[in-house]
Structure 1
Amino acid sequence: MRFAEDGPRVSARAFQRDRSVVRQKLRPGTLRRIAGFARPYRRMLVGFLVLIVISAALGATTPLIYKAIIDEGIIPGRVGVVEALAVLVGLIAVVDALLALAQRWFSARIGEGLIFDMRAKLFDHVQRQPLAFFTRTQTGALISRLNNDVLGAQSAFTGTLSSVLSNIVSVGFVLAAMIALSWQTTVVSLLLLPVFVVPARLLGPKLAELTRESYGLNAAMNTVMTERFNVSGAMLAKLYGHPARENDGFTAKAARVRDIGITQAMYGRIFFVSLTLVASLATAIVYGVGGRFAAEGTLQVGTVVALTSYLARLYGPLTQLSNVNVDVMTALVSFERVFEVLDLTPAISDRPGAVDLPPGAATIEFDDVGFRYPAAGEVSLASLESVAVLDHRPSETVLHQVSFRVAPGEMVALVGPSGAGKTTISQLVPRMYDAVSGTVRVGGHDVREITLRSLRDAVGVVTQDAHLFHDTIRANLTYARPAATPEQMWTAMDAAQIGHVVRALPDGLDTVVGDRGYRLSGGEKQRLAIARLLLKEPSIVVLDEATAHLDSESEAAVQQALATALAGRTSLVIAHRLSTVRDADRILVVENGRLVDSGRHTELLARGGLYAELYRTQFAAQNAAHHGGAGSGEASSGEAGSGEAQGSESRDAESREGASAATVG
């Protein structure tokens, strides 16, 4: 017996759904918000639903025509009736095919439109989240919202809605027709349905458990591949890894996925065989009971044939409808997971009435600024961190009453021990975070009253590990200035001491830099980042350990590039290598989130405070390296070498500063 529209396989998938989803509580207003997303497609949805009803009605009409062909044509010997009704069956088949194509067009148009709308809105919303959101969120979980959950929400309109409505309408038409033809035969044929549904419901939880395990194993394998197949992970695996052990761990998971796949395939075959068997037995019952009635003259032969034909259109839809609550809730939960992200209000955003920062504004002012990193509950979601409940307790205060002013064109350095708060101070300038107390001003304006776009246009940042996208040099440069011409790019690169390197590359500006710029050396990445900053032409520059971890030659080139970048600009420079900030207009010494000293290099040395202690420590390390056989190079080279080691350790701690503070409590 053949099933319409792939009935057995569809029913197998229905029973492997996770029924625990029906126990979840939807937040109030979810259905209303879903309707809001569907509103632009309401006319298409109406057309789609009308086509489903027409198609179901035509499907229910065909067996009645079979009955007429037999009872009104074949048995009486009326050839004309047989031919006319046969043509009618053919026409219905053609119309039904056209309806199927039209339904698919409506389904695809609505579904793909919803995917586009939701992905675009989610992507834009996620981009607006503060930096604290990204320091806590699992990237894979976030990407899953933009892919899996969006697709699950989309299926509500294209799959679930279509399937549920089509099955309801089909079952309604079929049952009405069967009962009209012979209610006794219909009741008898339906008695076998529990014989299939009950065992299937018993096997369903086991199949759902296997499906969840398979998803988990596939996610684990994806994580392993993602971590091992990027450049940094591949290098670490080669240097410290054990290929045989890595392979054993991966193949163990893959083998379990294989075994689950075999089990699922057998369960699927059991569903298929069971439904086919039950339908065949039902057909036998209809022929037996209906045939007896026909032999006794209480039923026509065509009626028996029609009833048998209806069975193929009855069992599949009825099986699907037995799990309709699971299908509907699964789709609604996908919508709710999307709405959960959309409801997360960005902690850093333009206030009502925010104004653009005037061009050329270049002063930086901290006025009694206090700061703590936001608690998890303020910026994140438990489901994106894979924890049960987010911690809402406030973290420790990391900045205390910080006040200073940087005049236009002035270079001010921030120095101090690791974890003192230097990076945190620098991140408050472009509003990566907002001060908890006090005021941060740029160009005389409170940064919270300035539009983010104009503020970040005015501030350029170069960090210790400049990030480059896996794209061309041209694309990485124009990210700062999309309309930049090749001439402007070459000018910026020449000023950043990287132009001659790019000219020597076979593909020049179209050279792909690799994952995170890994095809370039550390010094080349930094200089390319400086070229990107020069293209941006900010009035304020923030340097956060921009020369850390570089060898002496690369550092010299980067320092020369930085001299160009800082010329005429207000700059805030973080440095552990104190030799790099000797010539700063002013040096601010930070300790435990407080400004403890301020002055020029010679003044701070003369006072004998923390700065002098840090300087003596680095100078002693430099001398030890020099006298320990570091070579006969100049003292500055030795200092750079010793500073590099300390800078590496210090910057690692500094980079963890925000994360550790954010997770306090």
Structure 2
Amino acid sequence: MSPHDRSAWTPPPRDPGEPKEPAQVRRILRLFRPYRARLALVGLLVAAASLVSVASPFLLREILDVAIPQGRTGLLSLLALGMIVTAVLTGVFGVLQTLISTTVGQRVMHDLRTAVYEQLQRMPLAFFTRTRTGEVQSRIANDIGGMQATVTSTATSLVSNLTAVVATVVAMLALDWRLTLVSLLLLPVFVWISRRVGRERKRITTRRQKQMAAMAATVTESLSVSGILLGRTMGRADSLTRSFAEESERLVDLEVRSSMAGRWRMSTIGIVMAAMPALIYWAAGLAVGSGGTAISLGTLVAFVSLQQGLFRPAVSLLSTGVQMQTSLALFQRIFEYLDLPVDITEPAEPVRLPEVRG
């Protein structure tokens, strides 16, 4: 008998009227509720790091516009020391927030693994006769393992990048509002592109995880002691090898499609953002040439530095959005198991037997 001949459990069909992503996102956020104190500390560290990093371009502007032209070496030394201190503080805050967020993420993964295992312990025997063993193992190992990067770093990345973007935009407006408008002109288009890429990767991730579960089930069934004995007795070693090779080939195709989904569109965003400094220099030159208000060299260099500091968290925010949409497919597979109905449940107030002898 081939491992594929057994009937496999399939999740119940989704109710068309049931809210999809919003309800699922709220359910994911509830997983982090027991750790909100640690997450609040991460938020404070992120805010502090963002404020400190934004100060560096303003120090650079003072160096170029005041300290060097006026030959004030004392001020120059003080400003240079301030830039070094900001770099040190940013690094320290980054290490601390990574430590705390990784700890919280691992605890959330531990809670998920334990909840799925506990739910499976309560399932009736009929569930295990209908479900391939590899499918169950894949949910705990592959699906929860696949969301590790999202759970451990997404919350911190989202807060830190969002804070950095807001602080940087405010600083850019303080330097020059006209150049800020030029810098933010294409941002809505980038957000629209990233959302489309995220939806595409979510669909491919769902298919990829199902294929990984099928491979895990094949390996578990065909390479166990009983599976090896059955395969050799029936002379099916070559057939099983071909079947496994076909499943592996399908997984290769899905992995390539998952990696390349939206790659050209995201690369286009990177190219446009890399070209933005040239656009800023061009816009500043046109403003001066047309008789507009002159922009000092220090302001222009500080603005370009802030702009580069804006693009890094902005691109990271877009990537985080894509990663979160992809992870929704993994969370959905885990929630399918957590929502399985339990036929026999323990009573809330069980009857206590008197002392039993014999």
TM-score per shorter chain, which class?
Answer: 0.7 to 0.9
Determine if contact 2:198/2:323 at 8 Å carries over to the other structure.
no
In the alignment, does 2:273 pair up with 1:285? no
Match of 1:318 in 2: 314
Q: For 1:586-607, what per-residue CA distance to the aligned partner results, in whole angstroms no more than 9, with x for missing partners?
A: xxxxxxxxxxxxxxxxxxxxxx
Question: Within 5 A, what are the aligned runs for 1:282-431?
Answer: 282-293=276-287, 298-321=294-317, 324=321, 327=324, 330=327, 334=331, 337-338=334-335, 341=338, 344-345=341-342, 347-350=344-347, 352-356=349-353, 358-361=355-358
Q: Percent identity?
A: 28
Pick closer, same or farther for the CA change 1:351–1:260 going to 2, 3 Å: closer
- Among residues 101, 110, 125, which one is paired with 1:107 in the alignment? 101
Q: For 1:318-360, what per-residue CA distance to the aligned partner results, in whole angstroms no more than 9, with x for missing partners?
A: 3454574982795698389449627845614256242247444
Q: How far apart are the structure 2 equivalents of 1:302 and 1:115?
A: 48
Residue identity matched to 1:352: E
Shift of 1:293: 4.7
Q: How far apart are the structure 2 equivalents of 1:52 and 1:318?
A: 15
- Among residues 245, 251, 254, which one is paired with 2:248 in the alignment? 254
Determine if contact 1:291/1:304 at 8 Å carries over to the other structure.
no
Normalised TM-score (structure 1): 0.44
2:44 aligns to what SS in structure 1?
A: helix
Query: Which 5+ residue runs of structure 1 have no aligned equivalent?
Result: 1-21, 362-665
Q: Which protein is richer in strand relative to its size? A: 1
Shift of 1:60: 1.9
In the alignment, does 2:168 pair up with 1:171? no
Pick closer, same or farther for the CA change 1:343–1:254 going to 2, 3 Å: closer
Determine if contact 1:26/1:336 at 8 Å carries over to the other structure.
no
Q: How far apart are the structure 1 equivalents of 2:302 and 2:351?
A: 72
Match of 1:60 in 2: 54
Determine if contact 1:197/1:319 at 8 Å carries over to the other structure.
no
Q: How far apart are the structure 2 equivalents of 1:351 and 1:209?
A: 41
Residue identity matched to 1:166: S
In the alignment, does 2:180 pair up with 1:180? no
Q: Which protein is richer in helix relative to its size? A: 2
Match of 2:63 in 1: 69
Greater relative CO, 1 or 2 (CA 8 Å, sep 6+): 2
Determine if contact 1:145/1:337 at 8 Å carries over to the other structure.
yes
Query: Which 5+ residue runs of structure 2 have no aligned equivalent?
Result: 1-17
Report the number of matched residues.
Answer: 338
Q: How far apart are the structure 2 equivalents of 1:141 and 1:122?
A: 13
Pick closer, same or farther for the CA change 1:32–1:144 going to 2, 3 Å: same
Q: For 1:478-531, what per-residue CA distance to the aligned partner results, in whole angstroms no more than 9, with x for missing partners?
A: xxxxxxxxxxxxxxxxxxxxxxxxxxxxxxxxxxxxxxxxxxxxxxxxxxxxxx
- Among residues 58, 83, 86, which one is paired with 1:89 in the alignment? 83
Residue identity matched to 1:347: I
Q: How far apart are the structure 2 equivalents of 1:325 and 1:200?
A: 6
Residue identity matched to 1:246: L
Residue identity matched to 2:60: Y
Pick closer, same or farther for the CA change 1:67–1:294 going to 2, 3 Å: farther
Pick closer, same or farther for the CA change 1:66–1:256 going to 2, 3 Å: farther
Q: How far apart are the structure 2 equivalents of 1:242 and 1:314?
A: 59
Determine if contact 2:50/2:167 at 8 Å carries over to the other structure.
yes
In the alignment, does 2:231 pair up with 1:237? yes
Normalised TM-score (structure 2): 0.76
Q: For 1:390-436, what per-residue CA distance to the aligned partner results, in whole angstroms no more than 9, with x for missing partners?
A: xxxxxxxxxxxxxxxxxxxxxxxxxxxxxxxxxxxxxxxxxxxxxxx
Shift of 1:237: 1.9
Q: How far apart are the structure 1 equivalents of 2:353 and 2:86?
A: 65
Pick closer, same or farther for the CA change 1:78–1:123 going to 2, 3 Å: same
Q: For 1:168-190, what per-residue CA distance to the aligned partner results, in whole angstroms no more than 9, with x for missing partners?
A: 21111111111121111111122
Q: How far apart are the structure 2 equivalents of 1:302 and 1:264?
A: 44
Determine if contact 2:54/2:306 at 8 Å carries over to the other structure.
yes
Shift of 1:108: 2.2
Residue identity matched to 1:82: L
Shift of 1:94: 1.2
Residue identity matched to 2:99: W
RMSD of Structure 2 on Structure 1 (CA): 3.9
